[in-house]
Amino acid sequence: MDVHVPRAVTTALRLRSIDVLTAQEDGAAQVADDRLLERAMELGRVLVSQDEDLLREGARRLREGEGFSGVVYAHQLRVTIGQMVEDLVLIATATSQEEWSGRIEYLPLG
């Protein structure tokens, strides 16, 4: 989770036994978006964000064929915390890390 994701989302996911690491917990709260994507890839984790700049960096990497481990983006005004939690639980339980390489997904899902 990057720093823009509400703590309530992280807490709700953990209550559902979903493994979550926040940028703050990883010591990456002040890290630039490109480095945050690299860190997520190093850790083999999908990065969840509500930051449009991070979304742009992911899209740039996708266009230029640069690797990243996947981004789930939720616009701050277009998805509720409850919907984010529901969709992220589905993603965490129904997909594998390998499926996320170089992928960007937008919430809410379908």
Boundaries of every domain in the chain: 7-107
**Which 8-state DSSP code applies to residue 48?**
E
pTM score, whole prediction: 0.94
| Confidence band, pLDDT 50/70/90 cuts, at residue 110 | confident
Q: What's the pLDDT at 85?
A: 98
pLDDT tens string 23-57: 999 999 999 999 999 999 999 999 999 999 999 99
Provide φ and ψ at 41, rounded to 5°: -65, -40
**Which 8-state DSSP code applies to residue 30?**
T
Structure tokens at 49: 């964000």
Partner residues linked to 107 by β-bridges:
74
pLDDT tens string 50-73: 999 999 999 999 999 998 999 999
What distance separates the 2 farthest-apart alpha carbons in the chain? 38
Nearest residue to 2 (alpha-carbon basis) of 47, 34, 68: 47
pLDDT tens string 70-87: 999 999 999 999 999 999
